[in-house]
């Protein structure tokens, strides 16, 4: 260890955080002039962003180092959150708010000739995720740090995040998202390099201590994982956790010098590229399993590197292996990291030479598994030949895990052959496939769904047999949450300030149930007025954004009806746009006098379709085509506008979410596990129209039925309805929907051939998502929305009451539930430095 005098010298020289405006400015200018080698003469917004980010980063890094030292010293149990996706969005604004430096930065930067908003706007989103699952991981990191939990995230450092969406001639086109040009928020750790092997063979090796012949996996291809660390600051605390992202490169340097020197320059480059391909690109699928080899490689690469890192850290403490689950909790964000279970078992039995049972006991106490979907097409299944080839030793271990599991089932339920077939990790067929969700359940001590209905559904349907086998206690619910720091304070500072002025400061951002105080003000005229003015200002801001990007003018006084999320048939954007068409047809029939009485509406859509998902792309095309017709129809005269916002992402959500009057969460009942944008919209004073699905149900329970517009069939009716569509005689389509289909087929929105798939899904496709069953209820409920909106005072009451009752949906609450029920971890307090707005 380090001698005392040396320690003293270091302590004296230790970097310290800047304090106050002048020091901040000095740091910005220093970074602009030295780190960036620019000057006052060529410091544009982008350089000012870089300088500001680097200055803020310096403070962040100091807190980060202290936190990591403190956590190492305390040596408590840590949680490792394994997620293939972290949809972080922008960092600078969040870092300033969480560290309490925003006001300092705003003033400081303005004296240097810049507007903080313009600078914040320079940052490229970190878009390493598809949608809800990845954004949840990001919200959870924010809460873990805010609540001082010792926690690390582990993910992949994709060179390309989710593609950028362009709308060309009304259709989606995908453009690569190269985001790493300048990323001040990551720190390469070239010293943390881990070799990961693929392919190869399993051969008998020497005997171990107990005389068993060891299995040696060897001769494979080796790829190196390089760690890139990202600091994750908590709000109102110095706790700054770590997100470690792995990047792939060939092992043994730039390229194979053997090949290079023998003249095979191309070959050596090819090897390099093959290795780098692993972390090159995020798979752009949400709620779909594509089953590609490169994806399996990504999964193993990331899982192997992360576990190696975790095990190495544990070994430094020289504790016995049986204490591993007292030090380490690993949460699997869906089944994507399920190989971690197998890899840890492999490390224990093949490398650390633990007996199987002892190893398996430790493994199963370490892992927790969160399920995010019941959609059959999203449940991961890996082809056995693929796994055999890429990870031969892991396949053997999976077979053994499965064998011992099936033996235990056989003991508990003797002679139930069908049960064994149903719960086996290996699904028979050609080829055989591995059911990763089953492996995740068998290897974990807790399995959770993400909203009450969803958790009940998985127990009653896809995992029913496992509840019978393992008992109820293994299965639990942790309803999702969102971070109020980003989704209220950062996205909607005016609303946050107004709330703070009534509930006694900004404490509510760390204790969201304090919002209940707002209910006292529902009858306060002045408060209500301010509340609605803030909503209007947010709508004006969005209207400006729409004007700037689409050239279409929308009326901020119209009802803003927003549906932004991944485009998917189960989320039913098609029902929304059919409803818009229906509304358009009614408006066209009206006399000018009748039209004057209508509530003007702006229907706003946004979201990406998976590149290979034709139906989703067709839905986008229909939305843009309806916009082309409706927006330029002078007879309609602004009573209806249809907008598709290109390239929906986190930073755009921060503009869109505060601006809704109503947002749509209208998935077929039982299909949306939770949804989290529903929570974001309500927290910002928007009402919702939605089905009895996912977290909508709990939102209704919290805010009251009178404050939400519910529609459609219930989850328990879905199976029957589907059966009727398939086998019922003379099923006639809802006449309102028929009318809509007719105008589409008559070519009102361009060639009817473009939409033939969409129409066929409703007819010959047996309407799997039950659009025709819910359409009439949807239309009727939209009429109720119009009616309610006419009464602006009543609307304001609903809006305020809803926000007041949203405390439950803080990600802090969700994280505390995981900490207590799943991870068994305690916070690691750091000395606190001041409170902040």
Q: Which residues does the annotation mark as catalytic?
A: 372, 565-566, 571, 676, 680
Distance CA 82, CA 317 (A): 22
Pick 84 or 643: Cβ nearer ligand KOT = 84
Interacting residues of 742 by C-beta distance below 8 A, sequence separation 6+? none
Contact pick of 146, 148, 279, 480 for ligand KOT (by CB under 6 A): 480
Pick 492 or 676: Cβ nearer ligand KOT = 676
Distance CA 784, CA 787 (A): 5
Pick 136 or 151: Cβ nearer ligand KOT = 136
Distance CA 121, CA 465 (A): 50
Helix (H) or strand (E) segment spanning residue 592: helix 592-596
Q: Does 670 bind ligand KOT (CB under 6 A)?
A: no
Question: Considering the complex, what minimum distance in angstroms separates the CB of residue 513 from ligand KOT?
Answer: 21
Which range in 73-81, 234-242, 485-493, 673-681 contacts ligand KOT by CB under 6 A?
673-681
Q: Which residues pair with 168 in a beta bridge?
A: 171
Pick 495 or 679: Cβ nearer ligand KOT = 679
Contact pick of 54, 88, 136, 796 for ligand KOT (by CB under 6 A): 136
DSSP letter (8 states) at residue 178: B
Q: What sign has the CA pseudo-torsion 508, 483, 606, 649?
A: positive
Question: Considering the complex, what minimum distance in angstroms separates the CB of residue 781 from ligand KOT?
Answer: 21
Interacting residues of 667 by C-beta distance below 8 A, sequence separation 6+? 570, 571, 572, 675, 691, 693, 694
Q: Does 668 bind ligand KOT (CB under 6 A)?
A: no
Pick 116 or 437: Cβ nearer ligand KOT = 437
Question: Considering the complex, what minimum distance in angstroms separates the CB of residue 656 from ligand KOT?
Answer: 17
Site for ligand KOT in 676-695 (CB under 6 A): 676, 694
Kindly determine how many residues on this chain lie close enough to bind ligand KOT according to the rule CB under 6 A: 19
Contact pick of 334, 561, 647, 773 for ligand KOT (by CB under 6 A): 334
Peptide bond into 431 cis (omega under 30): yes
Q: For residue 218, give Cα distances in angstroms to 4, 294, 756, 768.
A: 46, 21, 53, 48
Which parts of 590-677 are beta strand (E)? 601-606, 640-645, 662-665
Which parts of 208-327 are beta strand (E)? 213-218, 221-233, 240-250
Question: Considering the complex, what minimum distance in angstroms separates the CB of residue 449 from ligand KOT?
Answer: 9
Distance CA 189, CA 224 (A): 13
Pick 51 or 694: Cβ nearer ligand KOT = 694
3-state secondary structure at position 447: strand
Q: Does 286 bind ligand KOT (CB under 6 A)?
A: yes
Print the binding letters for residues 445-464 with ligand KOT: x by CB under 6 A, - otherwise: -----x--------------
Distance CA 466, CA 409 (A): 10
> Residues 390, 300: contact at Cβ < 8 Å?
yes
Site for ligand KOT in 696-715 (CB under 6 A): none
Q: Does 287 bind ligand KOT (CB under 6 A)?
A: yes
> Residues 759, 739: contact at Cβ < 8 Å?
no
Pick 301 or 531: Cβ nearer ligand KOT = 301
For residue 76, which of 702, 827, 806 has the smallest C-alpha distance? 827
Distance CA 507, CA 497 (A): 12
Print the binding letters for residues 360-389 with ligand KOT: x by CB under 6 A, - otherwise: ------------xx----x-----------
Distance CA 726, CA 765 (A): 9
Q: Does 477 bind ligand KOT (CB under 6 A)?
A: no
Which range in 423-431, 624-632, 636-644, 670-678 contacts ligand KOT by CB under 6 A?
670-678
Q: Does 51 bind ligand KOT (CB under 6 A)?
A: no
Question: Considering the complex, what minimum distance in angstroms separates the CB of residue 199 from ligand KOT?
Answer: 25
Q: Does 132 bind ligand KOT (CB under 6 A)?
A: yes
Pick 112 or 478: Cβ nearer ligand KOT = 478
The token duo for 507 is 């404490």
Helix (H) or strand (E) segment spanning residue 787: helix 771-790
Which range in 50-58, 285-293, 305-313, 772-780 contacts ligand KOT by CB under 6 A?
285-293
For helices 573-589 and 614-631, the axis angle rounded to 10 degrees is: 20
Question: Considering the complex, what minimum distance in angstroms separates the CB of residue 178 from ligand KOT?
Answer: 22
Binding site for ligand KOT (CB under 6 A): 130, 132-133, 136, 285-287, 334, 372-373, 378, 450, 480, 672-676, 694
């Amino acid at each position: 260890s380090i001698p005392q005098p040396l320690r003293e010298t270091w302590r004296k020289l230790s970097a310290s955080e800047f304090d106050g405006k002048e020091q901040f400015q000095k740091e910005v200018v220093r970074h602009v002039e030295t780190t960036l080698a620019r000057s006052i003469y060529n410091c544009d917004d982008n350089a000012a962003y870089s300088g500001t980010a680097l200055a803020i980063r310096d403070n962040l890094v100091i807190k980060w180092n202290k936190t990591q030292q403190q956590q190492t010293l305390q040596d408590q149990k840590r949680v490792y959150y394994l997620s293939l996706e972290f949809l972080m969005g922008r960092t600078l604004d969040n870092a300033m708010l969480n560290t309490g430096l925003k006001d300092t930065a705003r003033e400081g930067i303005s004296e240097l000739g810049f507007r903080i908003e313009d600078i914040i706007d320079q940052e490229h989103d970190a878009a390493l995720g598809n949608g809800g699952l990845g954004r949840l991981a990001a919200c959870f990191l924010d809460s873990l740090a805010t609540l001082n939990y010792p926690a690390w995230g582990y993910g992949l450092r994709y060179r390309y995040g989710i593609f950028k969406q362009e709308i060309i001639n009304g259709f989606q086109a995908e453009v690569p998202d190269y985001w790493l040009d300048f990323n001040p928020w990551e720190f390469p750790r070239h010293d943390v390099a881990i070799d990961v092997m693929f392919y190869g063979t399993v051969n008998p090796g020497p005997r171990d201590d107990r005389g068993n012949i060891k299995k040696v996996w060897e001769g494979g291809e080796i790829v190196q994982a390089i760690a890139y660390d990202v600091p994750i600051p908590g709000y109102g605390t110095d706790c700054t956790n770590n997100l470690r992202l792995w990047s792939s490169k060939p092992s043994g340097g730039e390229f194979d010098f053997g090949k290079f020197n023998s003249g095979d320059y191309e070959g050596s480059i090819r090897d390099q590229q093959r290795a780098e391909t692993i972390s090159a690109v995020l798979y752009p699928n949400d709620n779909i399993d594509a089953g590609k080899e490169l994806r399996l490689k990504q999964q193993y690469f990331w899982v192997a590197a992360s576990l190696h890192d975790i095990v190495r850290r544990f070994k430094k403490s020289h504790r016995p292996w049986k204490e591993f689950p007292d030090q380490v909790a690993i949460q699997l964000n869906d089944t994507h990291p399920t190989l971690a279970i197998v890899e840890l078992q492999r490390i224990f039995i093949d490398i650390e030479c633990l007996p199987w049972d002892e190893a398996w006991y430790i493994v199963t106490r370490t892992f927790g598994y969160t399920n995010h979907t019941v959609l059959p097409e999203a449940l991961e299944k890996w082809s056995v030949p693929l796994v055999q080839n890429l990870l031969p030793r892991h396949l053997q271990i999976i077979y053994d895990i499965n064998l011992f599991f099936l033996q235990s089932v056989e003991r508990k339920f003797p002679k139930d052959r069908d049960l064994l077939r149903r719960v086996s990790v290996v699904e028979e067929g050609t080829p055989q496939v591995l059911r990763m969700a089953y492996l995740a359940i068998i290897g974990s001590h807790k399995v959770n769904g993400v909203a009450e209905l969803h958790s009940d559904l998985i127990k009653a349907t896809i995992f029913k047999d496992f509840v019978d086998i393992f008992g109820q206690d293994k299965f639990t619910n942790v309803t999702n949450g969102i971070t109020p720091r980003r989704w209220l304070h950062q996205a909607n500072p005016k609303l946050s300030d107004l709330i703070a002025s009534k509930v006694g400061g900004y404490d509510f951002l760390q204790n969201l149930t304090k919002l209940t105080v707002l209910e006292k003000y529902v009858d306060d005229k002045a408060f209500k007025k301010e509340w609605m003015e803030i909503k209007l200002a947010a709508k004006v801001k969005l209207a400006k954004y729409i004007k700037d990007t689409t050239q279409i003018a929308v009326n901020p006084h119209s009802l803003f009806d927003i549906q932004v999320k991944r485009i998917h048939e189960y989320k039913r954007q098609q029902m929304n746009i059919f409803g818009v068409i229906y509304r358009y047809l009614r408006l066209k029939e009206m006399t000018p006098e009748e039209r004057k009485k209508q509530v003007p509406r702006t229907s706003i859509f946004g979201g990406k379709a998976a590149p290979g998902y034709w139906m989703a792309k067709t839905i986008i095309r229909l939305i843009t085509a309806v916009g082309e017709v409706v927006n330029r129809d002078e007879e309609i005269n602004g009573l209806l506008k249809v907008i598709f916002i290109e390239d929906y992402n986190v930073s755009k959500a921060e503009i869109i979410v505060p601006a809704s009057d109503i947002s749509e969460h209208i998935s077929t009942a039982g299909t949306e596990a939770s949804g989290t944008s529903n929570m974001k919209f309500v927290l910002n004073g928007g009402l919702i129209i939605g089905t009895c699905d996912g977290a909508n149900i709990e939102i209704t329970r919290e805010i009251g039925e009178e404050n939400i517009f519910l529609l459609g069939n219930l989850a328990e009716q879905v199976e029957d309805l589907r059966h009727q569509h398939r086998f019922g005689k003379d099923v006639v389509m809802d006449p309102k929907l028929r009318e809509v289909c007719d105008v589409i087929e008559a070519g009102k929105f361009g060639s009817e051939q473009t939409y033939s798939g969409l129409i066929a899904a409703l007819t010959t496709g047996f309407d799997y998502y039950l659009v025709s069953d819910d359409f009439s209820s949807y239309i009727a409920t939209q009429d109720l929305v119009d009616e309610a909106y006419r009464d602006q005072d009543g609307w304001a009451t609903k809006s305020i009451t809803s926000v007041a009752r949203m405390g439950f949906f803080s990600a802090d609450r969700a994280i505390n539930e995981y900490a207590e029920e799943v991870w068994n971890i305690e916070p690691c307090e750091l000395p606190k430095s001041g409170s902040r707005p």
